[in-house]
Amino acid sequence: MDISYGGVGYEYDKFLAFWRGEYRKRDFLLKNINKIKDIRAAYRAVGRIFEDLCAEGNSSKTEKEDFIDCYCMQVLALRTGRPVEVEEKFIMPIIRVGNIVHRHDAIKYGVDEICDAVLSYNLLPSFLLRELNSYKILKDCSDGCEKWDVPPTLCIESSGTFVPDSSVKVNLNFYDDFGEIEKEILEEYRKKMSSEKGYFETLIRGSTASYHIELKAYIYDNSFDIDSAIEKFHEQLVWAVYDVKKQRSMPLTERERSLVDASFQKLVVGSAGPTHAVGRAVGLWLWDYLQENPSSTRTPAYIALNKLGLNIPYRFEKDNPSIRKTLDRIFNSTKKCIETNQVLPIKGGTGK
């Protein structure tokens, strides 16, 4: 795997961004299950208003999606007082659509909900509200032709300007102070270092020449496992250094490259080995199926997975406890990825 900087072409970035986007989208849909109908209605309404305003009376699906993304960025810019950078052709339509939206409370409410989601998940509405496609993802992975398309995100340039972007790292709390930038970048890692027995908090501050690492440990009882804690800190520190250096376009040392590669294999690939991408796709499909077809057990989902007829190494057999345990682990791992919004290893405890 190539260990070099290359924007969204960086293999780790593309892989992590793709799966993180899929997990975050499902977390958004689950947490907004009672509001999603109104949110989608508002999204479609803004699209229809834009179509009505088009000179020819029609627009392509892509153009409409791009416009809604830009319109939501404009709403966020007005909220936060930040400038926004959008295509010139959308400037007047944004103003005209905004005038119409503000006269309809239901649409305005839905747009506000969409913008809240953009800020929470760092994903633009064209991706957040796109129909789920776990079958296609699973089929592509099983056929060996998977593509790690990076979802559209909201990016803030150093000037503080909102811009549509497909880069992986999004920092919505941008400060000129270098230490503050790093503090925000590491927020997700501080969350990941939680455990029942204690947790660690890391802050990296410094300049382009040196770093100060501050480690705070909170121990709750004598059963705290220091070896496990050291392992967690090691993993998160490696990724934190990777993120900070990439943010500032600083090259990785050979030692850092080897550590990033080892951590990627451990944190993302896990025990699934070469089939980890197929395992993730299977977990995603199972989660979607059970959301649409609730059941007291997962057996119907496992049987439905067989009926897809895809070339995957997970064929369910009722009398085979091993394959049931494997599918349970995959589902539970996926569930945890969605709940934490993180790309975690495909491994874990057995399900019920």
Tell me the Ramachandran region of residue 253: left when phi exceeds 0, alpha when psi lies from -120 to 50, beta otherwise: beta
Band (pLDDT 50/70/90 cuts) for residue 212 is low
Question: Cα separation of 18 and 22, whole Å?
Answer: 6
For 153, how many CA atoms within 13 A lie in the half-sphere containing its CB? 24
Single pTM value for the model: 0.69
Band (pLDDT 50/70/90 cuts) for residue 159 is low
Averaged pLDDT, 1-18: 53
Lowest mean pLDDT among 118-122, 218-222, 228-232, 328-332: 218-222
Using the predicted structure, report yes or no on whether residue 8 has a pLDDT greater than 70. no
pLDDT at 220: 66
Lowest mean pLDDT among 145-149, 160-164, 170-174: 170-174
Question: Cα separation of 331 and 200, whole Å?
Answer: 28
Bridge partners of 270, per DSSP, are none
Averaged pLDDT, 132-138: 93
What is the per-residue pLDDT across 24-40, written as a single tens digit (0 to 9) for each?
Answer: 999 999 999 999 999 99
From the list 26, 32, 43, the residue with the least C-alpha distance to 134 is 26
Using the predicted structure, report yes or no on whether residue 275 has a pLDDT greater than 70. no
